[in-house]
Amino acid sequence: MTKKKRVSKPKVSKGLGDTVEKVLKATGIDKIAKFILGEDCGCDERKALLNKLYPYQKPECLTEKEYKVLDKHFKKYPDNTTGTLRAELLRDLYLIYNRVMHQTKKPSNCPSCVRNVLSSLKNIYLTYEDK
C-alpha cells in the first residue's frame, strides 16, 4: 500500500498581511528575518495590522429587502447625489453597508463619508442591475 501525499489547498488571504507573509515565505526572507531578529520578529503583529488596515473585501449578497431600499434610493437619485436623507434612511443605508461590507461604520452627517458609503452601495447595486 502506497501512501498518498497530502496536497493542501493554499490558504485564502484575508488581507495584505497574509499576502506579504506568503511572499516572504516563498522567497525565504522569513527565515532570514527570524535568524537575524529571533523567533519573535514582530511578523505576526505586522501581519495582523496589515490585514486589518487592508482587508480583501468580498461583499456579501444583498437581501431582497436591502435591494428594494437601494433600488428606491438610486432610482430617485440616479446621479448618486444624496439629496436630503432622512435619519431613518441614512441609518438603513449604513446598516446595509456594514452588513454587506463587514464594517462597523456609524451613520454620519459628513457629506464625503455618506458619499463614499453610497458609492460603494451603488457599485454593489449595479452588479444586480447588470444581470
Q: How confident is the model at residue 34 (pLDDT cuts 50, 70, 90)?
A: confident
Please give the Cα distance from 124 to 100 (Å, whole number). 9
Cell 457599485 identifies what position? 123
**What are the cell numbers at 94?**
449604513
Q: What is the DSSP letter of 11?
A: P
Average the pLDDT over 39-53 and give the result. Answer: 83
Residue 116 to residue 31: CA distance in whole angstroms: 41
Which pLDDT does position 5 carry in this prediction?
A: 64
pLDDT tens string 95-115: 999 999 888 999 988 888 898
pLDDT digits (tens, 9 = 90+) for 53-67: 777 777 889 999 999
Bridge partners of 15, per DSSP, are 55
Whether the CB-CB separation of 108 and 82 falls below 8 Å is answered with no
Cα 88 to the center of its chain, rounded Å: 25
pLDDT reading at 6 higher than 70: no
Which of the pair, 30 or 57, is modelled with greater confidence? 30
Number of neighbouring beta carbons within 10 Å of residue 7: 5
